[in-house]
Amino acid sequence: MSSVGIAPGLLFLDKIISNWMNYEIVKSPAMNEYMAINDKFGQFHQNPTNVLIHLVTTPMGFIGLFGLLRQFTHGSTTSLVICMIYMLSLVRTLPVGVFIGTWVACLVIGTSAKAFQLGVKSSIAMIVLGYILQDLAHLATSEATYQASYSNMSGKSTSTQIDTNNLHGWFQLFLEHCFYLIPLCIHSWINIVISPLLSATVGSAAAASIMQYLMYPLPPQLQQIYTFAYILTPLFCISLGSYCIDSRNGFCFFPGTPYFGRIVQCNIITGGSNCRKNDLKAIRDWTLKQMPSHETSSHWWFHALPSLEYKAFDRIAHSDVISGAFRKIFDERHYALDIVEGMNEVYVSGPPRSGEKLNSDHVFYSRHVDGPLGFIPYVSVYRCIIGMDKNMMITTHFPLGGVANNATNGDVLGFDFNREIHYISMDPSKRYLG
């Protein structure tokens, strides 16, 4: 009676899936090879308890492995790229259900490794513990291990884990075992746990139909992704680097979020022993002697400054206060911090000159970014504005960051040269407040 009640829904679902999977089902040689390995693996994983324990111990070992990788690479980007390449290599190999399950498992493993932030010792402990618990699961359920099946191929080894008389052949099979371990565990889980559960829930006929769809290969159109892996892999790495642009905003995949909270703010004349008040005064006094124009903006390049002002500017640029503010966003474990001296200058803002149709100063009063190279991954170039006096007329606005600052008396405003939208405004009524 239950089968009659769900029949219309199942027919509707069957029609949707059939339309979606309206392609010629052709298993690739890679998939046939995988299925042969899975048949062997499945002989040693028939007990549901053993299979469920493997769904815990296998990710445990890989979390430890990714934890070690984080210790050496100081971040999660490498792990994410490895997962992407791994899934890409399995596009032509795995059935639909196993592929989706493996993708979810990789997501859980990568996220857990990042969240746990394991040290070297704890990472190694996770790997060892996962391996030992798997063997104990086999022992407790009276099932032999798959590894033992190829550990005595020579017939002369005294070990149940390593074929000491044929190390080369054993090692190849062991690497193959490790490479396919996650999908093999997912496949066993689908066959041993999910299939009986479906039969008990929706009936054997419906369960058989669902299992058939789960074991289909991916559509040929999706398998073409593997063909173009040599293009997609570098594109993925570039795209990833455009999102993971600092230590605070890792993996920001929502529009606008990478640019939020990236503005550097500090003050270099209130830093006690790191105070740069005298250096700032030396540069300001020299600037005023140059009689800057009141009608246009003025600037002098750092490398063209006289010796005294040059050294003062250099000390400011290398201020520990400024580098400390940057390190709050760009952790020294992940990023190198260098000064682009060719861009350094002493700058005096000019009026809007709104009456002139074309002038170089007008752009500063409209929303803009300073450079076109925001597409370059894994790097940020920052422009730092340092106020030399109490100039209350000019305000710098960062609409995405919700920041508006006058940058007076040693205030530092640092922003991404190629990504941060900003503009300035002028209030002539505050000319004499400073």
DSSP per position, 309-378 = HHHHHHHHHT-HHHHHHHHTTS-TTT------GGG-EEEE-----TTSSS-TTGGGGS-B-S-S-TTSTT
| Core vs surface per residue 353-390: b (16+ CB within 10 A) or e | beeeeeeebeebeeeebbeeebeeeeebbbbbbbbbee
The answer on pLDDT for 361 being more than 90 is: no
Share of the chain above pLDDT 70, in %: 85
Lowest mean pLDDT among 21-25, 135-139, 400-404: 21-25
Going from N- to C-terminal start, the domains of the chain cover 2-243, 257-430
φ and ψ at residue 371, rounded to 5 degrees = -135, 160
pTM for this prediction? 0.67
Share of the chain above pLDDT 90, in %: 44
CATH T-level fold of 257-430: Jelly Rolls (2.60.120)
Token pair listed for 96: 């639909």
Nearest to 240 by CA among 373, 71, 76, 72: 76
The answer on pLDDT for 4 being more than 60 is: no
pLDDT value at position 20? 52
Residues composing the chain = 434
